[in-house]
Structure 1
């Protein structure tokens, strides 16, 4: 419980809008400080041998303009790559329309990295299992945790990996009592952000 509280307290969350050619797009922003210098965090987020140890195996043409795929139909194209500070990719599931995920890394205090993850454009509502939900804060009764809590879980796995304590089976951890509690409390934190936006 203290671990979850500490995580929630040290995470910055925002839901806002950014300009696009089509108008204003809804985005979520997640900010953390990672316990490693920028080059290590960059490698953990971009090198297949690292990614499979804390996230999922990735395949594809992993260079600017190339495409990538994870094992669960998630994938996209690499739009921007400025090592070791900026990675921009499209993000989609199966044949669904893609959004964009941007990862920004900057030196933090000491040997840490200031990490910012931006995901958008995101709709205000989607239909899931017959219910209309906000994809940022969707909760377990509607079928799964929303994007806010999901990205927090992903960054939790990254932080554990950088500390030398990787989660052996992320899917099993997500289904555990600790993972479900983490997801519920993360969803509550995102729900508060959305309510205040």
Structure 2
């Protein structure tokens, strides 16, 4: 598997405004029920994403180890999961929605992350700050589904490998293209892509 080919399987879109919405769509060669279970079963989720704890039901709360937490807003198996996505001491509005549907013998996976982003942060990193992280997650899910349940990638060391750096660099560029398509100026996009790449794959 060429890992960058995995990157090319996804479509990226940015809806710009007071609330920024990142959209990722890609196809997996697995049945909807299997993808749903991989995304919602705590034991399977930790294999390709992060360990999760909490009251995992609608109205309950969850916490991803070392990452975001929030409330489970909607859960409609096997097609829709929506959660608040809160990170840090003073998080603003942030929600993640995942939709699954049958397509071409597999599953169309669509993720939408909508958030209020401080202007100074957006001007530094643009959509790649969140987008590269989601690209890494979708890569992990793809590898997990295609290898019979072996673990996905190790994000602690992935950026140290040559293929990891390629993947991160191309992901950052792809989100730069989505930013341009949404009206971002070329100079701003170039600066945010450089900052995002340096953050995820420091020299």
Q: What is the TM-score with the length of structure 1 in the denominator?
A: 0.83
Q: Structure 1: which 5+ residue stretches go unaligned?
A: 19-23, 138-145
Q: CA deviation at 1:175?
A: 3.8
Q: CA offsets, 1:8-66, max 9 Å, x none?
A: 33211110158xxxxx6320100000121000000100110101111111000000011
* Secondary structure class of the residue paired with 1:92: coil
Name the CA distance, whole Å, in 2 between partners of 1:119 and 1:127. 16
Name the CA distance, whole Å, in 2 between partners of 1:176 and 1:125. 32
Contact 1:123 1:135 in 2 (8 A): no
Contact 1:15 1:193 in 2 (8 A): yes
Q: CA offsets, 1:139-195, max 9 Å, x none?
A: xxxxxxx21111011000001000125336332224433222211110101101111
Q: What is the TM-score with the length of structure 2 in the denominator?
A: 0.80
Residue 55 (structure 2) aligned to one of 61, 72, 91: 61
Q: CA deviation at 1:108?
A: 1.2
For this pair of structures, how many residues does the alignment match? 179
Residue 138 (structure 2) aligned to one of 152, 155, 170: 155
Correspondence for 1:142: none
Name the CA distance, whole Å, in 2 between partners of 1:34 and 1:85. 14
Correspondence for 1:97: 92
